[in-house]
Amino acid sequence: MDHTKYDATFLLIDEDLKPALTISEAQALKPIQKKFMESYLQHRDSMPLEKWLHTEMAENLPDHSSEEITQMSKEILTALQMAEEKKISLERAIENGQSKESWFARETITATSYMSVQEASVYLQGLDAALADANASLYRTIRTQAGAGPISQNPNLDGFIAEQYHAQTFNLNAKASGSPYRAKVLDPVDGKYAKNSVDIVITDGSGKVVRRYQSKYCKDAEATAKAFEHGDYRGQQKLVPQGQEQNIGKKASTIIKAPDGTSSTPLSKEQAKQLQNEAQSGKWNDLNWNEYKTKDLAIGIGKQAGQAALMGAAVGVGFSVAHKVWNGEEIKGEELVETAIVSGADFGVKTAVAGALKVGAEKGIITAIPKGTPAATIANIAHVGIENAKIIGKMANGELTIKEGFEKMEQTTVATVVGIAASTKGVAIGATIGTVFGPVGTAVGGLIGGTLGYMAGSKVGETITKAAQKIRKKAAETVKSIGDSVCRAASSVKSSISNFCSGFRSLFSW
């Protein structure tokens, strides 16, 4: 059937994700999910959760050793505990007036405090690239057919700050990417600047100057252009505030750039003035430039995580499959499941769901989640899927508006990313984020969320799955508006991590 004749917002992801999650696979997983949930409800008051999980998984995976079962169980419980901890931390921060992006930045800076500058940069870039790749993968399918001493009080201090800003952000990018080039602001001789003297130079690995820059940070483009007319700056490139370059000339640039493409971060006149005001008012945060960069990058990553949540909301295939597989099914103790998800005391429920999904993966039932996928990754898929289903339920009954619901979903994603980053090392961070928030994790998470709804009773299940289909249309509309930036970011990732980070920082707000 050509669905597009009846639904103008039919998403191609319905077809593209079929290999990731089929009805036959969901049917095969169903008895395992049912067995795990009924067993948990039966033993929840008589057996410690850790012992129950180990026992149930061992019974369902007889070919695995006791040590393997212990490791799986430990990973599931640890991952869910971390996810819950970060969820609560973010909720408290928001209650105190903090944004999710600034909370993300604080948590990330804490996590990288023991690292060197280069290690922290690479660490953050790994998170950055992984989220961008997950977002881009989803968007490709979510498309419809339709110095020392007192602070200077010089009124032009912002110009000097701008010079240092460009030199230092260039050097941070160079360190992170392994570039041999370095930038330097030239100091005055005997306290005085020579006429037409160079402001910033870029040198190669041997110390040879390869680029020279003259920086002018005037109040507007006209004033900046006139400033360049009052000197002989041949052999120097013009460095100007972001937003003024088009009115100054072809040789004007908002960044300094090395032959290998390494560059600084653009800075507007307004941003430079803000830094000046911070310094002269005594409110300058006496961190170093490295930490300024880390904070900004972390905030940008937090925004990417929020975008991932919107992408996930636009994917309805998992909920659709849950409806087809679980509609009319009953389990023993469904009222206990409903109480758990309504009250929020759902740690045991999430544990049972994650355990069943891990067993399904090890048995080769859900082919998109291969055998050997870390149990922690699967636990995070379960956590996000269930949290989003609970949010959708609140949106359906009017407790949350569409906008508030999307914001809650974004918070879930941001908190989960922080939990993954805090407990995962090296390249595994990117792989975990890509699985949890990419098409596979999103589709399976929808199945899990929809399934839990039906486990809480047919009425709850129907409410959640129907609402999910309505909400996905709203999410798809929002996704369209951010799609271009997601694709641009993805293109930069493919080019190189260094170039991606440079482009991604255009999202930052000061």
Residue by residue, DSSP assigns 69-104 as HHHHHHHHHHHHHHHHHHHHHHHHHHHTT--HHHHH
pLDDT of residue 493: 32
Comparing 287 with 344, the larger pLDDT belongs to 344
- Average pLDDT of every residue of the chain: 75
Percent of the chain with pLDDT strictly greater than 90: 23
Give me the mean pLDDT over the 228-256 stretch. Answer: 84
Cα–Cα distance measured from residue 133 to residue 438, given in angstroms and rounded to the nearest whole number: 8
Comparing 16 with 274, the larger pLDDT belongs to 274
pLDDT of residue 327: 77
Comparing 151 with 333, the larger pLDDT belongs to 333
Give me the mean pLDDT over the 353-363 stretch. Answer: 95
164 — phi, psi (to 5°)? -65, -35
Per-residue pLDDT at 447 exceeds 60? yes
| Position 355 confidence tier, pLDDT thresholds 50, 70, 90 | very high
pLDDT of residue 296: 61
Per-residue pLDDT at 143 exceeds 50? no
Long-range contact pairs involving 407-411 (C-beta distance under 8 Å, separation at least 24): 409/309, 409/310, 409/312, 409/313, 410/100, 410/305, 410/306, 410/309, 410/310, 411/87, 411/90, 411/91, 411/94, 411/100
Per-residue pLDDT at 130 exceeds 80? no
pLDDT of residue 506: 27
Per DSSP bridges, beta strands 182-185 and 209-215 are unpaired
pLDDT of residue 133: 60
Range in 119-128, 165-174, 278-287 with the lowest mean pLDDT: 278-287
Cα–Cα distance measured from residue 50 to residue 375, given in angstroms and rounded to the nearest whole number: 14
| Position 494 confidence tier, pLDDT thresholds 50, 70, 90 | very low
Range in 24-38, 190-204, 277-291 with the lowest mean pLDDT: 277-291
Range in 105-109, 129-133, 445-449, 503-507 with the lowest mean pLDDT: 503-507
pLDDT of residue 40: 92
Comparing 484 with 48, the larger pLDDT belongs to 48
Give me the mean pLDDT over the 14-24 stretch. Answer: 58
- Spatial strand order in the sheet of 209-215: 182-185, 200-203, 209-215, 237-239, 252-253
Give me the mean pLDDT over the 180-202 stretch. Answer: 72
Give me the mean pLDDT over the 244-250 stretch. Answer: 78
Using an 8 Å Cβ cutoff, are 298 and 104 in contact? yes
Per-residue pLDDT at 155 exceeds 70? no
pLDDT of residue 117: 59
Range in 34-38, 194-198, 406-410, 485-489 with the lowest mean pLDDT: 485-489
Percent of the chain with pLDDT strictly greater than 70: 68
Q: Which of 36-50, 187-201, 447-461 has the highest mean pLDDT?
A: 36-50
Per-residue pLDDT at 268 exceeds 80? yes
DSSP H/E element including 284:
none
Give me the mean pLDDT over the 211-227 stretch. Answer: 88
Task: Count CB-CB contacts under 10 A for residue 44.
Answer: 18
Residue with tokens 């409800």: 41
Exposure of 55 in the CB half-sphere (CA atoms within 13 A): 11
263 — phi, psi (to 5°)? -140, 170
Q: What is the pTM of this model?
A: 0.62
Per-residue pLDDT at 146 exceeds 70? no
Give me the mean pLDDT over the 471-495 stretch. Answer: 52
Per-residue pLDDT at 15 exceeds 50? no
pLDDT of residue 226: 85
Torsion sign over Cα 197, 202, 204, 210: negative
